[in-house]
């Protein structure tokens, strides 16, 4: 279940029964096309195990609703020419937002999964009403720049730093986002932004973004470490997010004893300030500092036990293929962290327990906004 959803789908996306955007079998077809780009009816039948007649019963209504288009038949080797089906990119789109303590990041993603627009801006105010005005304005501008029909927006996904308290979409963010704390974010955002709104924490949605455009292309099992003003993460298991009973799976910072340093970027900013390199905020630091600076070695040394414990816990408890270091973490700094991580993994009979590989994210700081944009599209059309 997606945490924190409020609102109704626009009528244009509902089926004739007025109840659903896509049936379970329609979702299977659309998910396959989302992954492959295009496929013939015969391809879909082979991939799903459904008969050709069943595929036709699924595909034709989707074409009629403008969600799929079928091209001209193509000759591919011997046999009858086949026509390729694909998703109609402009048929629907979603907006994904990542709201951080100092910055808001936004992407516009169409039905085919193409990012049609990107915006990043300093958060003008953490006041909820003022921030919503800024976000609404950013959405309007980005959608217009992308040349998309606003009526085709299926919804908005929002990733917010913090953990769920076990009561709907109420999150407990850091002190810097105090006006966003413990309120029903989904319904309150939907009132201003319009349409359905999904809310999840930034680590979960960043992991979804990585699953879509990064590590998820080669593995369905990985842990994602999200570095920003705070520190958290998400888990992808079998290709889908592992959320836990309260939506807080991947809150890796909580595995550290209270006296241990939290390896987040705001603590790095404070470390640099103590050593003569002050920055007003995290946005300024990320724009101005050199992540390869030898001065940072001291911070890395302080945080090494924390990195080692978190990586060892992930390896032992989750046994993923991969640990991905992402969020707002520069890749150069990620590589320096990776070089220092040591797993707790004693040898037995000449063998160590297989440990995950560790790699920087290839997506960059947009991962949370990308993952947030997938929330409405998955809920509406995909498996």
Q: Which CATH superfamily is domain 92-208+368-380 in?
A: ATPase, nucleotide binding domain (3.30.420.40)
pLDDT digits (tens, 9 = 90+) for 211-255: 988 898 899 999 999 999 999 999 999 999 999 999 999 999 999
DSSP structure class, residue 214: S
Q: Are domains 92-208+368-380 and 218-361 of this chain identical in fold?
A: yes
As a whole-number percent, the residues of the chain with pLDDT over 90 amount to 80
**157 DSSP assignment:** E
Q: What phi, psi does 295 have (nearest 5°)?
A: -55, -30
In 3D space, the residue among 375, 373, 374 whose CA is nearest the CA of residue 139 turns out to be 373
Which stretches within the chain are classed as H helix? 24-36, 41-48, 52-64, 128-146, 185-193, 202-213, 265-274, 282-288, 296-318, 331-340, 367-380
- Would you state the pLDDT for residue 194? 86
Give me the pLDDT at residue 1, please: 40
d(CA 231, CA 142): 29
pLDDT of residue 80: 63
Q: In the chain, what are the domain boundaries?
A: 5-90, 92-208+368-380, 218-361
Q: Which pLDDT does position 356 carry in this prediction?
A: 97
pLDDT at position 49 is 93
Can you list the residues of the chain whose pLDDT is less than 50? 1
Beta carbons within 10 angstroms of residue 270's beta carbon: 15
Q: What angle do CA 168, 170, 173 make, to 5 degrees?
A: 150
Give pLDDT, residue 104.
94
CA angle 315, 271, 305 (to 5 degrees): 25
Fold of the domain built from segment(s) 218-361: Nucleotidyltransferase; domain 5 (3.30.420)
The pLDDT, as a whole number, for residue 181 is 95
Topology adopted by domain 5-90: Arc Repressor Mutant, subunit A (1.10.10)
């Amino acid at each position: 279940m997606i945490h924190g959803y409020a609102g109704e789908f626009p009528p244009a996306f509902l089926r004739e029964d007025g109840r659903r955007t896509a049936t379970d079998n329609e979702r299977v077809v659309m998910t396959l096309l989302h992954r492959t780009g295009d496929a013939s009816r015969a391809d879909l039948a082979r991939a799903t195990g459904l008969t050709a007649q069943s595929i036709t019963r699924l595909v034709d209504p989707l074409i009629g609703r403008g969600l799929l288009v079928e091209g001209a038949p193509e000759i591919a080797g011997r046999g009858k020419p086949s026509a390729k089906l694909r998703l109609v990119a402009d048929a629907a789109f979603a907006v994904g937002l990542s709201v951080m303590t100092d910055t808001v990041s936004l992407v516009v993603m169409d039905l085919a999964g193409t990012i049609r627009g990107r915006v990043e801006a300093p958060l003008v105010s953490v006041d909820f009403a003022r921030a919503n005005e800024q976000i609404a304005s950013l959405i309007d501008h980005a959608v217009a720049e992308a040349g998309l029909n606003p009526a085709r927006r299926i919804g908005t996904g929002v990733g917010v730093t913090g953990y769920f308290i076990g009561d709907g979409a109420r999150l407990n963010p850091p002190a810097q986002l105090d006006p966003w704390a413990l309120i029903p974010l989904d319904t309150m955002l939907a009132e201003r932004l319009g349409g359905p709104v999904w809310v999840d924490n930034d680590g979960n949605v960043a992991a979804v973004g990585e699953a879509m455009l990064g590590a998820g292309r080669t593995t369905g099992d990985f842990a994602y470490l999200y570095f920003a003003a705070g520190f958290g993460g998400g888990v992808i298991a079998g290709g889908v997010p592992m959320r836990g009973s309260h939506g807080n799976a991947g809150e890796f910072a909580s595995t550290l004893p209270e006296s241990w340093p939290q390896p987040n970027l705001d603590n790095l900013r404070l470390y640099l300030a103590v050593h003569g390199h002050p920055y007003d905020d995290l946005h300024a630091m990320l724009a101005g500092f050199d992540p390869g600076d030898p001065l940072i070695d001291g911070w890395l040394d302080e945080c090494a036990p924390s990195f080692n414990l978190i990586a060892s816990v992930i390896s032992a408890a989750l046994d993923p293929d991969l640990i991905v270091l992402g969020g707002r973490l520069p890749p150069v700094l990620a590589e320096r962290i990776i070089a220092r991580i040591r797993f707790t993994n004693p040898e037995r009979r000449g063998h160590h327990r297989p440990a995950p590989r560790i790699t920087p994210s290839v997506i960059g700081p947009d991962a949370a906004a990308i993952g947030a944009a997938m929330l409405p599209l998955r809920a509406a059309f995909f498996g």
